[in-house]
């Protein structure tokens, strides 16, 4: 069994995918330093005071954890001038799908600092983040460690985004997916089909988020869902080949035998044994946005030319298992004439309903989309 004294654990997930819960279970163990969202752009401006301000109780995100600050683990790497040592806000979404062999000394130096800060205190570093699915291979090549990938029913995951909306404003999570899709290398045709225009990707993350917010704040629900699904698919196709353990968080919450198996697998791979006995599935979201799930999913898969990646002989089985039941199990709200008119008007304000792409668009999007144009 590997010793926890020389193991680094990475927990990779998307947003609203139970990563906060899993991080909390690692954080509860003795002898660990569990870093929460170490790629979040807010870390560029934290101070000793603000580090302790945000907690699950006051976040508004329905997270477990009470009054314990999310970011307390970072106190050992604070820069006296503000922010964390060697951290740059651009890390949050830049090079989101970085290739394993690519060089990025800035990110590498930052991570090495976090690992060292834990090691010199005799602690095991844990990294739990919603921004690393596309970086899993790069991180594994440089830092080794034990890599856990969390996956959730994509419809419920997206509904979790949507349920946090303060209408008509999209959530931060939706905006991040718009930015990622607009900057996906090789995905220009898909981005134009979904988002209605090409974004130039100029400026820092705040500026790019503001740009998609201006153009897509009234985009129909179908655009939000399809942009999410496109990023979801690309992210998991990048992460799953490098996973040492894949955790179905829907099953973790309802199957105690499965939870015990996951605990044992983590212990075997890392020497650490988090306790998932209190894991509970959230109630299904009661809202029913006007999205025709099956049609929307087929269109995204067609535009990304991913049929073989999902159902072919080398496809990760978990992808098909998560997609098929999810789209069959959710009944969309009736899409009547008023809704159709609203969707059409929404498209005029920065979003467009995806229709079947012409043949040349299929050819363009069949190109590699593993990287980022930034």
For 102-148, how does the pLDDT look when each residue is reduced to its tens digit (9 = 90+)?
A: 999 999 999 999 999 999 999 999 999 999 999 999 999 999 999 99
Cβ 82 vs Cβ 92: under 8 Å = no
For 301-329, how does the pLDDT look when each residue is reduced to its tens digit (9 = 90+)?
A: 888 999 889 888 888 999 988 888 656 64
For 62-96, how does the pLDDT look when each residue is reduced to its tens digit (9 = 90+)?
A: 556 666 788 899 999 999 988 999 999 999 999 99
For 11-55, how does the pLDDT look when each residue is reduced to its tens digit (9 = 90+)?
A: 999 998 989 999 999 999 999 999 999 999 999 999 988 887 776
Higher pLDDT, 94 or 353: 94
Q: Does the predicted TM-score (pTM) go above 0.75?
A: yes
Q: Which two tokens stand for residue 368?
A: 């590699």
Q: Which two tokens stand for residue 181?
A: 């899709």
On the question of a cis peptide bond just before residue 168, with omega within 30 degrees of 0, the verdict is: yes
Mean pLDDT for all residues in the chain: 83
Task: Label residue 373 by pLDDT band (50, 70, 90).
Answer: low
For 169, phi then psi, to 5°, come to -75, 130
Stretch (H or E) spanning 33: strand 32-36
């Amino acid at each position: 069994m590997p010793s926890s004294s020389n193991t680094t654990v990475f927990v990779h997930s998307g947003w609203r995918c139970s990563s906060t819960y899993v991080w909390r279970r690692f954080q509860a163990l003795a002898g660990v330093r569990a870093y929460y969202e170490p790629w979040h752009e807010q870390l560029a401006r934290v101070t000793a005071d603000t580090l302790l301000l945000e907690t699950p109780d006051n976040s508004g995100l329905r997270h477990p954890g009470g009054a314990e600050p999310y970011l307390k683990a970072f106190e050992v790497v604070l820069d006296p001038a503000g922010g964390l040592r060697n951290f740059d806000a651009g890390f949050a979404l830049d090079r989101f799908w970085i290739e394993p062999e690519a060089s990025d000394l800035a990110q590498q130096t930052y991570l090495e600092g976090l690992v060292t800060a834990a090691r010199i205190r005799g602690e095991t570093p844990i990294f739990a983040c919603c921004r690393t699915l596309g970086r899993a291979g790069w991180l594994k090549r440089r830092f080794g460690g034990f890599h856990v990938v969390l996956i959730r029913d994509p419809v419920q995951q997206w509904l979790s985004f949507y349920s946090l909306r303060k209408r008509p404003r999209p959530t931060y999570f939706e905006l991040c997916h718009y930015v990622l899709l607009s900057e996906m290398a090789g995905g220009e045709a898909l981005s134009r089909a979904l988002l209605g225009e090409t974004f130039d990707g100029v400026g820092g993350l705040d500026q790019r988020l503001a740009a998609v917010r201006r153009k897509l704040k009234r985009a129909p629900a179908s655009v939000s869902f399809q942009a999410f699904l496109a990023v979801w698919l690309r992210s998991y196709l990048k992460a799953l080949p490098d996973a040492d353990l894949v955790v179905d968080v829907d099953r973790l919450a309802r199957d105690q035998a499965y939870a015990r198996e996951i605990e044992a697998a983590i212990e075997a791979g890392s020497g650490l044994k988090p306790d998932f006995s209190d894991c509970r599935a959230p109630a299904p979201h009661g809202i029913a946005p006007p999205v025709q799930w099956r049609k929307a999913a087929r269109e995204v898969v067609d535009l990304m030319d991913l049929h073989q990646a999902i159902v072919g002989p080398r496809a990760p089985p978990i992808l098909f298992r998560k997609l098929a039941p999810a789209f069959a199990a959710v009944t969309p709200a009736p899409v009547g004439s008023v809704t159709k008119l609203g969707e059409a008007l929404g498209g005029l304000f920065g979003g467009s309903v995806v229709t079947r792409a012409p043949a040349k668009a299929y050819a363009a999007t069949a190109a590699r989309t593993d990287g980022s144009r930034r």
